[in-house]
Amino acid sequence: MSKNKKIWFLLPGLIGLLLSSLVACGNLGYTTYTNEQFGYTISCPYTWYGEVSTDGTKCLISDPGRGASVMIDVAKAMPPKVAANFLIMSISEGTLGKEVTMIEDKPMQGSWDWYLSYDYEMTSGIFHGEAYFKQTEEHIYKLDTAALKEGYSRYPFSTIISSFKLQ
């Protein structure tokens, strides 16, 4: 096989690799939401939709089938561990007495200050959630993901979480 034929043979694979890396980086098929009031941006698949509270402190981003969601909450500054405890208490209240199972509850280094991982039962099944907390001088930012436990890994949560940026 000549060198030119080998190059044409490899070209579709290289193009596919390039396109998949662009999707993974959030450049293709993603849209960015900017909250000017609280100074953050986040990207999500363009097919997902968002709802923002009237005061701008909450932003719910959901997939079209409402099987998965990302909730961004902004509150007055508090220690991330305290914010994590408030989240667990609110989930416990929402499950109507069903158990919330803590998986991880720990400080982080890098982009996020605290990480929380948990499972909880609702009438529609067992859900898995992960929450990430970032404290600034004025605010605490919570990014909380949720989906049915058995389907959690099929959603692009890691790409969405890594796209969150403070301005």
pLDDT of residue 92: 83
pLDDT of residue 7: 44
| 17 in any annotated domain | no
pLDDT of residue 27: 46
| 36 in any annotated domain | yes
Token pair for 78: 């508090």
Query: What is the mean pLDDT of each successive set of 10 residues along the chain, which is 167 residues long?
Result: 48 42 57 96 96 96 93 97 93 77 94 96 91 97 97 96 96
Domain count, the chain: 1
CATH value at residue 105: 3.40.1000.10
| 44 in any annotated domain | yes
Per residue in 64-83, pLDDT tens?
988 899 999 999 999 999 99
pLDDT of residue 14: 39
Per residue in 93-118, pLDDT tens?
877 667 889 999 999 999 999 999 99
Which residues constitute the domain of residue 76? 29-166
- CA pair distance 13, 151, nearest whole angstrom: 29
- Residue 25 phi/psi, 5-degree rounding, is -85, -5
Q: What is the DSSP string of 47-113?
A: T-EEEE-TTSSEEEEE-TTSSEEEEEEEEE---HHHHHHHHHHHHHHHTTT--EEEEEEEE--SS-S
pLDDT of residue 160: 97
pLDDT of residue 91: 87
pLDDT of residue 98: 74
| 103 in any annotated domain | yes
**What is the residue type of 80?**
P
| 20 in any annotated domain | no
